[in-house]
Structure 1
């Protein structure tokens, strides 16, 4: 399905807000500022690749080869959407750091 010019910014905004929110909540609960920024690449790989997660441990070479092929086949719109999700996860860590520095204690 081709992505229209209206769908791309909305998708980017949704991924940004989704991963900012999830990252913010995880950072508050786990008290680790960068937990979502560390977890996000795993989530992105699960979104991109069609290989089961256990296959990375059983057939490592073939799974990583498949992952490299899938990364090379990503469209520009997909890269932009996934990048906005990563930006949201990183910004959640930055905001938590700033809030803790200013004296706010979350849980």
Structure 2
């Protein structure tokens, strides 16, 4: 069981981390929603406990295993991962707002 202060700090850290990564990727690649698109893949890397080659060699077993892992996540884990998704989406919104106001990022 995760304590409440750990969850709160983790939520803030995931939001700031993925906001920052998303903001930088959006500036460099000029694609406003790149991190929001890549975030589910990042979540799968965080959640899974199998090697990546298992998805190529035994895809049926590997994908059903990741499905079981996703279903068995605790509420705190889901909240933390959702805060990262919100950070990625907010970074896209901020980049779009800055570009509309005339700021050119690289």
* 1:65 Cα deviation from its structure 2 partner: 0.6
Unaligned runs of 5+ in 2: none
Give the aligned partner of residue 16 of structure 1: 15
TM-score, normalised to structure 1's length? Answer: 0.95
* 1:19 Cα deviation from its structure 2 partner: 0.2
TM-score, normalised to structure 2's length? Answer: 0.96
Show the 5 A alignment for 1:1-107.
2-107=1-106
Q: Helix, strand or coil for the counterpart of 1:6?
A: helix
Unaligned runs of 5+ in 1: none
Q: Helix, strand or coil for the counterpart of 2:4?
A: coil
**Considering only aligned residues, what root-mean-square deviation do their CA atoms show, in Å?**
0.8
The number of equivalent residue pairs is 106
> Following TM superposition, where does structure 1 have runs of at least 4 consecutive aligned residues deviating by more than 6 angstroms?
none
* 1:17 Cα deviation from its structure 2 partner: 0.2
* 1:58 Cα deviation from its structure 2 partner: 1.9
